[in-house]
Amino acid sequence: MIDPIPHPAGLAGLSYLLILGMLGVAVVLTFIRLYRGPKLADRVIALDLLAIESIGIIVNYAMALNRQMLIDVAIVLALLAFLGTVAFARYLEKRVEP
């Protein structure tokens, strides 16, 4: 049972709030690029960066909640992000530009 309110067991003081706030700002900035990227390749890069930001958020949340098993989610997310980016690149290269 995961507590609804994170209790900072190890991270010093309330610094996990600062860290998660910085990562939230990063996610918002990346979504702006995802929205207005002029080409598809820009959007693919933004998606790749979003996956890495999610890894950061998950690992910091695991430290704030003191749950070790959330690290596994970060591993799976890294694998899936690489696969998605490579697949996008393959089909972007083969696509005939309209």
- What stretch of H or E contains 40? helix 40-65
Q: Applying CB under 8 A, does 85 fall inside the site for another protein?
A: yes
Count residues near another protein (CB under 8 A). Answer: 50
Of 1, 56, 65, 80, the residue at the interface with another protein (CB under 8 A) is 56
In angstroms, the CA 35 to CA 94 distance is 24
Rounded to a whole number of angstroms, the CA Rg of the chain reads 17
Q: With respect to another protein, which residue has the nearer C-beta, 5 or 12? A: 12
Are the CB atoms for 56 and 85 separated by under 8 Å? no
Cβ neighbourhood burial of 64 (10 Å; 0-12, 13-18, 19+) = buried
User: What residues make contact with another protein under the rule CB under 8 A?
Assistant: 10-12, 15-16, 18-19, 22-23, 25-27, 29-30, 32-33, 39-42, 44-46, 48-49, 52-53, 55-56, 59-60, 62-63, 68, 71-72, 74-75, 78-79, 82, 85-86, 88-90, 92-93, 95, 97
